[in-house]
Structure 1
Amino acid sequence: MEIVEYELFEVPPRWLFLKVSTDTGLVGWGEPIVEGRAKSVRSAVEELMDTYLIGTDPQHIEKHWQTMYRGGFYRGGPVLMSAIAGIDQALWDIKGKQYDAPVYELLGGRARDRIRVYQWIGGDEPSEVGRAAREKVDAGFTALKMNGTAKVRHIDTPAVVDDAVRRLSEVRDTVGEDIDIAVDFHGRVSKSMAKRLVEALDPYDPMFIEEPVLPEHEEALPAIAECTTTPIATGERMFSRWDFKNLLEQGVVDLIQPDLSHAGGITEVHKIASMAEAYDVAIAPHCPLGPIALASCVQVDATSPNALIQEQSLDIHYNEGSDETEYLSDPTLFEYEEGYIDLPTEPGLGIRIDEKTVRERAQEDVDWHNPVWEYPDGSIAEW
């Protein structure tokens, strides 16, 4: 078997799909995307496919991964690792179909029968989160996540802290103690404000605090951890096991969040999960993305004993005009019952892509970029 062709489809709301075809008729799908950098990742995928993959046997996944990663003198980073990730997902999809088995069976078999999911509430500048929380809990979700703040100055006023407390307390009062509530700082907060915020939010028992500081400031995490008993999560902007190495050795992070479309795909995140297990750290793959990314996450969750919970993009505020089920021939594969998703049983990634819809929607103009925020003085704020 050899790879003979590939196609890329940029589709709403902000996703890039990859189709890899073989001479036997088997096809694999991947989702190589950096949100807001689809054209950059497209070029990287084309370079990797044209340089290394066309004409090769898709079953040699580890060798292909090593070639794509180590074959270039310059390596790592979001664009290259996302390109590798999408290709890797497609290769695993092909291999699973070749052996008529879900990918998780080829990774050693299932560690569980289903994986818990959480549901986003609110938007970039969250408001009315109490009502949204009630709706999602009534729909069966047992875990929620919300943004903690909008833009925050390096050292900001007590009102900013009070506002974050008010929103979390509103959600906690609405849903009670039996529902988990995660709070995402989105890397918007300096270490100075992070220390104040985590201490103020502690009485409301967040499930975890996500990305309290940017990954380039991870040396601040021990000081932040001293201010709270809430578990700390981070990792959506880390792209390989080497990026996670120092973080795990610090011993202060409780939950890591590698992204299956950014951190080298199934091959790499499976290894990252095993690394984390050795440090008694849980994993909750980052996935505010499309159906192929989510299907890939579930394959790794299935086989990882330390997988805690899974992000998914149903009704997320980024997905205006499209959702993760639109591109599936059988949307019921992503039905959430009692806050869980059952493991897929179909071969490969376990989903069937509606190629007709993909091709139709790829004709639309898709040019998503994240907003650029400014402070009142005109300087740039973290989004």
Structure 2
Amino acid sequence: MRITDYELFEVPPRWLFLKLTTSDGTVGWGEPVVEGRAKTVRTAVEELLDNYLLGEDPSRIEDHWQAMYRGGFYRGGPVLMSAIAGVDQALWDIKGKHFDAPVYELLGGRARNRVRVYQWIGGDRPQDVGDAASEKVDEGFTALKMNATPEFRPVDNPRAVSDAVDRIAAVRDAVGDEVDIGVDFHGRVSKPMVRRLATALEPYDPMFIEEPVLPQHNDALADIRASTTTPIATGERMYSRWDFKQIFEENAVDVIQPDLSHAGGITEVKKIAAMAEAYDVSVAPHCPLGPIALASCIQVDACSPNTLIQEQSLDIHYNETSDVLDYLVDPSVFEYRDGYVDLPDGPGLGIEIDESYVREQTGGVDWHNPIWRHDDGSVAEW
């Protein structure tokens, strides 16, 4: 069996799908994308496949990963690692189909029977979160996540902090103490404001504070963690085990959030999860993406004993034109019950992509994140 062909599909709302085909007709799917940079990642995927993988045996996944990563003098970063991630997902999908087994069975077997998921509420500029929280809990979710703030000045006023407190208070009042609430700082909060905001939110017992600072300021995480009782989460903008190494060694984090479409795919995130286990750190993969990315996450979640919870993007505010389930032949594979999703038992990634729908939707996608500005006209963190 050899890799003989590939196709790439840019589809709404902001996703890039990869179809790999082998000489015996087996097809594997991957989702290599950086949100807002799909065309850039597309070129990187083409370079990897044309230079390394076409004509090769798809079963040698570890060797292919090493060649794609170490075969170039310049390594790491969001574009290359996202391209590798999508190819890696597709290779695992092929391998699972070849052996007629879910990927997690090839990675040691399941460590759980189902995976807990959380649901987004509130949008980019969070509002109406209390009503939204009640609605999602009524739908069966037991964990929610929301952005903490809209734009936030480097040193902001007490009203900005109290507004953030009022929002999480509204959610806590609406859902009670048995529902978990993750609060995403989204890298919008500067170091001078993180401790003030974290302290103000503590009475409402967040499940975690996500990305309290940008990754370039991870050296501040240990001090931030020491200043609050709320667990600290980060990792969506970290792309390899070497990026995570420092925060493990510095005892700086409680939950890591590698993205299966950004951090080197199934092969790399399984290694990152194993590293985290050695430091008593939980894993909650980042996934505001499509069905292939989510299926890949669940394969790693299934066989990683330190999995905490899984992000998923059904009804997320980005998915106005197409949603996760639209691209699946059988959307029931992602049916959420009592705040959990069952492990897929189909071969490979456990999903069947509706290729005819993918082809209908291909083209015309030009999603980019907004450029936000402060009142003085300077660029703000989105």
2:370 equivalent in structure 1? 371
**Residue 351 of structure 2 corresponds to residue 345 of structure 1:** no
**Residue 296 of structure 2 corresponds to residue 306 of structure 1:** no
> Which whole-Å CA distance do the structure 1 matches of 2:231 and 2:138 have between them?
26
> Which whole-Å CA distance do the structure 2 matches of 1:59 and 1:226 have between them?
45
Matches within 5 A, 1:70-219: 70-219=70-219
Q: Which amino acid aligns with 1:372?
A: I
> Which whole-Å CA distance do the structure 2 matches of 1:109 and 1:223 have between them?
38
> Which whole-Å CA distance do the structure 1 matches of 2:223 and 2:3 have between them?
50
> Which whole-Å CA distance do the structure 2 matches of 1:249 and 1:132 have between them?
38
Tell me by how many angstroms 1:147 deviates.
0.3
What is the SS of the residue equivalent to 1:259? coil
> Which stretches in structure 1 are left out of the alignment for 5+ residues?
none
1:257 equivalent in structure 2? 257
When the two structures are superposed, what TM-score results if normalisation uses the length of structure 1?
A: 0.99
1:42 equivalent in structure 2? 42
Tell me by how many angstroms 1:87 deviates.
0.1
Q: Which amino acid aligns with 2:61?
A: I
Q: Which amino acid aligns with 2:302?
A: A
> Which whole-Å CA distance do the structure 1 matches of 2:222 and 2:28 have between them?
42
Matches within 5 A, 1:268-307: 268-307=268-307
> Which whole-Å CA distance do the structure 1 matches of 2:225 and 2:84 have between them?
33
What is the SS of the residue equivalent to 1:325? helix
Tell me by how many angstroms 1:16 deviates.
0.1
Q: Which amino acid aligns with 2:95?
A: K
2:380 equivalent in structure 1? 381
When the two structures are superposed, what TM-score results if normalisation uses the length of structure 2?
A: 1.00
> Which whole-Å CA distance do the structure 1 matches of 2:67 and 2:306 have between them?
29
What is the SS of the residue equivalent to 1:4? strand
Tell me by how many angstroms 1:221 deviates.
1.2
> Which whole-Å CA distance do the structure 2 matches of 1:298 and 1:226 have between them?
31
What is the SS of the residue equivalent to 1:88? helix
Deviations 1:331-368 (A, max 9, x none): 000000000000000000000000000000004x1000
Matches within 5 A, 1:231-246: 231-246=231-246
> Which whole-Å CA distance do the structure 1 matches of 2:137 and 2:225 have between them?
29
Moved more, 223-232 or 174-183: 223-232
What is the SS of the residue equivalent to 1:326? helix
Q: Which amino acid aligns with 2:162?
A: D
Q: Which amino acid aligns with 2:381?
A: E
The alignment of Structure 1 onto Structure 2 pairs a total of residues equal to 382
> Which whole-Å CA distance do the structure 1 matches of 2:379 and 2:285 have between them?
29
> Which whole-Å CA distance do the structure 1 matches of 2:337 and 2:78 have between them?
33
Structure 1 residue ranges, 4+ long, deviating more than 6 angstroms after superposition: none
